[in-house]
Amino acid sequence: MVGEELAVMDASGLRAIGAGLAVGLTGIASGIAEKDIGSAAIGAMAENEALFGKGLILTVIPETIVIFGLVVALLIK
């Protein structure tokens, strides 16, 4: 029984699922992290427009998470 079910699972399909999870979950993680930084950065910019550059940079810092996810996905493929 168990053997039969396993045989149905296609290896390349599992890889695709894994790659999808890697990008999707890290994307959510970056989103959560950036949301807080972004709203704080907008708040700071409302006070002082010169902070635009720093705000932008701080906001994209968690972007690394999803980049790593993307790299992992590429490696799985």
Partner 1 sequence: MLSPKQMSRVTIVGHKDILGQTVDALHGINAFHIEDYNDDKLGLKIGKPFENADDVSKKLIKIRSISSFLGIKKGESGKQNVESLFQELDTKLVELDDEVSKRTDRKSEIENKLKELDTLSKELLPFSTIPLNLDQYRGYENLAVLSGIVKGDIEPEVAHITQSYELFSDVKSGTIVLFVLKEHADKVSNVLSEFAFKELRVPEISGVPADLLKKTEQDIVNLQNDIVSLNAEIGSLKSKYSGFILASDELLSIETQKAEAPLRVATSEHTFMMDGWVPNEDYDRLARTVEDATGGRAFISRTNVTKEEEAIVPIEYENPKISKPFEEIMDLYARPRYSEIDPTSLIFITFPLFYGMILGDIGYALILLGLALGIKKLVRSDAIKPLMNILIYCQVSTLIFGVLYGEFLGFPLAGLESHGHYIPGLINGFETINLFPSPFAGEMITYPVHRTHLVMTMIVVTALIGLIHINIGYLLGFINERRKHGVTAAILEKGSWFVIQIGLLLFALGYVGYISKAIGIGVFLVGFVMLLKGEGIKGPIELPSLLSNSLSYTRIIAVGLSSIYIASTVNQIAFDMIMPESFGPMTIFAIVIFILGHALNTVLSIIAPGLHALRLQYVEFFTKFYEGGGKKYNPFGYIRKYTEE
Interface ranges with partner 1 (CB under 8 A): 52-54, 56-57, 60-61, 63-64, 67-68, 70-71, 74-75, 77
Task: Select 7 or 71, whichever has its Cβ closest to partner 1.
Answer: 71
Could you give the CA distance from residue 71 to residue 52 in angstroms, rounded to a whole number? 29
Closest to partner 1 by CB, 36 or 77: 77
Nearer to partner 1, 48 or 64 (CB): 64
Query: C-alpha 59: how far from its chain's center?
Result: 14
User: Residue 73 CB: number of other CB atoms within 10 A?
Assistant: 19
Q: Six-digit token pair at 41?
A: 């950065």
